[in-house]
Amino acid sequence: MSIEPIGERVTALEEWMKGHEALCAERYGDLKDTVTWLVRGVFGMLIGIVAWLAVQLWNGSQLRVEALERAQAHAPVDVKPAEAGALGARSPAS
């Protein structure tokens, strides 16, 4: 069994660290690209969900307005002058 000199061990360790750093940098770059893609995808989905929700709210409000207009057109309210006073409306003379 031979003992390696300290200088050779340090040189071998430095070479291994350089190779290891290059490998880690490559893996980090790949991981960073993947995470960036996933984050963009999640934000895209959130924007899509918010847009879908806005369309649903718009359609619901339009249906509500149409239903109110139809109800108002089919059920006209006749208010007689005597009833108007009872409802708290002012008459033109007062």
User: According to the model, what pLDDT value does residue 59 have?
Assistant: 93
Residue-averaged pLDDT of the chain = 83
d(CA 34, CA 25): 14
Predicted local confidence at residue 88, as pLDDT: 59
pLDDT-flagged residues of the chain (< 50): none
Both structure tokens of 93: 């003379």
- Which one-letter amino acid corresponds to residue 65? V
- The residue assigned the tokens 């069994």 is 1
Q: Which pLDDT does position 7 carry in this prediction?
A: 83
Q: Which amino acid is at 83?
A: E
For residues 81 and 91, is the Cβ–Cβ distance under 8 A? yes
Q: What does the pLDDT read at residue 28?
A: 87
